[in-house]
Structure 1
């Protein structure tokens, strides 16, 4: 059987600075940029909608609660802007963090937002009223990503110290903590009892996180891996990197299927994040100011 490949079907411009984050929700993509704008795009046409937010600082991370139509935007000064997308108005400005926000995640199954900053501080927020539920200092350096499992019962904190910390999301106790990468951990992705992690060391590791056992280790990129996502009903794994490339993997054995670079319609600069649109489509964003849409083809 021929393995499927990723084809670029749209390349969208509009930001005037590097794009730092991208999320997908109900036919729309939201992006945050060094140009201080958060912009909403039609994922099918690539057209910019009439929703855009201008901030006084660069927006590093964004997260969306579909339940409450709330967009949370984390900035480089530690503020979190809470925006009602129906009213198109900022309803709160949260100032609990004292350093830049590098991780922001919505857990729709618990109605939580999780935020992590440059100093290793984790905050848990009620997604409905943004009451601060708990603050946990991990002193792990920069928290680069907070990922949740399929049931919303666990979260993993990716720390600059190379450790991953897995918490349950009822009382926020750390139930597993182990060294995952020689340098910082930048991203993680749950697959039931399996966890994939991507590091500053350019490796993808595959773990049984409940046993804290490494199942596979792959030198995946030339430089730091910034994001991981499943596609094709979890048959494939996609990674993006500081080395400017996008890679498509066979998930089962973490074997490479395809490497996409600038010469084959990839990005010109660092690829910062990716978002899953559906089982056959993803979006990637880059320091080259472009948002690109990719589709799996036979």
Structure 2
């Protein structure tokens, strides 16, 4: 098992955006995904036809975050300075919007019928999707909220901020339950393993920390995972593997069982991105979509998982 060898094939590159990309999501369609970034365009792509991007919407400012409402075929878009927008993916029309702050919306996560929205002025807003109103809000930090992960099993949510801290809250009443110390810079990425055992965090300090959520939350692993900022951590659907991406222009594939690094995808070896890789999406069990400051998205097939 330790000798597991992966091969990588670059399936496609998706160009057409005019500036850096910061968000990528999918809905229930097995071949479609959506990208957005600094040019304000929300674009639908089909992995089989990479040259045929379809513009869904254009918003005036930078998009740092999106969240798909798969059962409704809708998309929530977080817009810099303007709050959030609800888009219908069938028509491309904006259904609703909500002005939350004049700061950036860096994180949007869904749990059942609620959205958790993290903003540049240090707040997390809890929003009812059905009623489209704010049901609660938490002042997390005097600095930006950069990442959110929802623990559905324990009914908690975790928030990473630019003050270097990770804080956990109960969904029921938004009371703080834990503060995690360890990172030395902004926490740009949080995700929970598919088996709900671990919280993984990635930071501007280039470290990935693995926190054991059983009992008293503590660091299970502290891994110098990249050379520079870790922008995203994403598990594949089975939860057996995950990928990280970084300002160092690389994507790395890891094994969940032992947190072992299996593969590095970069420009020199795989015609990877030439600038910071900002976000990742597993389109299925073995295809990763990455988006970058180089204005493009790429699709990678990971063989041998």
TM-score, length of structure 2 as denominator length: 0.91
CA contact (8 A) 1:78 1:117 kept: no
CA displacement, residues 50-69 of structure 1 (integer Å, 9 cap, x when unaligned): 45201111222111112333
CA distance in 2, matches of 1:261, 1:215: 28
Secondary structure class of the residue paired with 2:72: coil
Deviation at 1:152, TM superposition (A): 7.9
CA contact (8 A) 1:68 1:127 kept: no
Match for residue 95 of structure 1 among 58, 82, 99: 99
Does residue 277 (structure 1) correspond to residue 283 (structure 2)? The answer is yes
CA contact (8 A) 2:57 2:93 kept: no
Secondary structure class of the residue paired with 1:67: helix
Runs of 4+ deviating beyond 6 Å: none
The residue aligned with 2:255 is 250
Deviation at 1:140, TM superposition (A): 4.6
Deviation at 1:285, TM superposition (A): 0.2
Match for residue 6 of structure 1 among 5, 8, 11: 8
The residue aligned with 1:184 is 186
Q: Over the residues paired in the alignment, what is the CA RMSD in angstroms? A: 1.9
Does residue 36 (structure 1) correspond to residue 40 (structure 2)? The answer is yes
The residue aligned with 1:287 is 293
The residue aligned with 1:262 is 267
Query: 1:108-127 counterparts in 2 under 5 A?
Result: 110-127=112-129
CA contact (8 A) 2:15 2:51 kept: no
Figure out how many residues of one structure are paired with residues of the other and give that number: 296
Does residue 297 (structure 1) correspond to residue 303 (structure 2)? The answer is yes
Does residue 147 (structure 1) correspond to residue 152 (structure 2)? The answer is no
Question: Runs of 5+ in structure 2 lacking a partner?
Answer: none
Match for residue 234 of structure 2 among 229, 245, 248: 229
The residue aligned with 1:200 is 204
Deviation at 1:232, TM superposition (A): 6.9
TM-score, length of structure 1 as denominator length: 0.93
Deviates more, 1:49-58 or 1:218-227: 49-58
CA contact (8 A) 2:41 2:55 kept: no
The residue aligned with 1:67 is 71
Secondary structure class of the residue paired with 1:186: strand
The residue aligned with 2:163 is 161
Deviation at 1:150, TM superposition (A): 5.1
Deviates more, 1:161-170 or 1:213-222: 161-170
Deviation at 1:214, TM superposition (A): 1.0
CA displacement, residues 71-120 of structure 1 (integer Å, 9 cap, x when unaligned): 1111111421222223421122211223111111222xx21111111111
Deviation at 1:242, TM superposition (A): 0.6
CA distance in 1, matches of 2:40, 2:237: 33
CA distance in 2, matches of 1:287, 1:50: 20
Question: Runs of 5+ in structure 1 lacking a partner?
Answer: none
